[in-house]
Structure 1
Amino acid sequence: MDCNKTLLTFHFRSTPVLVEPHLQGEPWFCAADLAAALGIQKTFGKVLAALDDDMKKLRPVPTPAGERQAIFLNLGGAYGLCFTGGSEDGDAVAGWICNEVGPQARTSPIFAKSVTKRLIQQAQGVQ
Structure 2
Amino acid sequence: MVDISQGRKINLNIIPFQFNNSSIRVIDKAGEPWFVAKDIAEALEYPTAYKMTRSLDADEKDAQIVGTLGGNQEVTVINESGLYSAILKSRKPEAKTFKKWVTKEVLPSIRKNGGYIAGQENDSPEMVMAKALLVV
What TM-score do you get using the length of structure 1 for normalisation?
0.74
Moved over 4 A (4+): none
Equivalent position of 1:31 in the other structure? 37
Q: Is 1:13 equivalent to 2:12 in the alignment?
A: no
**Aligned residues of 2:11 and 2:27 also touching (Cα < 8 A):** no
SS of 1:21 mapped into structure 2? strand
Q: Separation in 2 of the partners of 1:29 and 1:109?
A: 15
CA drift of 1:75 comes to 0.6
What is the letter of the counterpart of residue 77 of structure 2?
F
Report how many residues are paired.
108
Q: Separation in 2 of the partners of 1:71 and 1:87?
A: 22
Q: Separation in 1 of the partners of 2:43 and 2:95?
A: 9
What is the letter of the counterpart of residue 15 of structure 1?
S
Cα 1:109/1:76, change in 2 over 3 Å: closer
* 1:50-99 deviation per Cα after TM superposition (whole angstroms, max 9, x unaligned): 10000001111222220101111111101111110332211111111111
Cα 1:43/1:23, change in 2 over 3 Å: closer
CA drift of 1:23 comes to 2.7
Worse overlay, 98-107 or 70-79: 98-107
Q: Is 1:60 equivalent to 2:69 in the alignment?
A: no
Q: Separation in 2 of the partners of 1:31 and 1:109?
A: 20
**Aligned residues of 1:43 and 1:85 also touching (Cα < 8 A):** no
SS of 1:47 mapped into structure 2? helix
Alignment identity in percent? Answer: 29
Equivalent position of 2:88 in the other structure? 83
RCO (CA 8 Å, sep 6+): is it higher in 1 or 2?
A: 1
Q: Separation in 2 of the partners of 1:37 and 1:70?
A: 16
**Aligned residues of 1:21 and 1:105 also touching (Cα < 8 A):** no
Q: Could you list the runs of 5+ residues in structure 2 that have no partner in the other structure? A: 4-9, 116-136
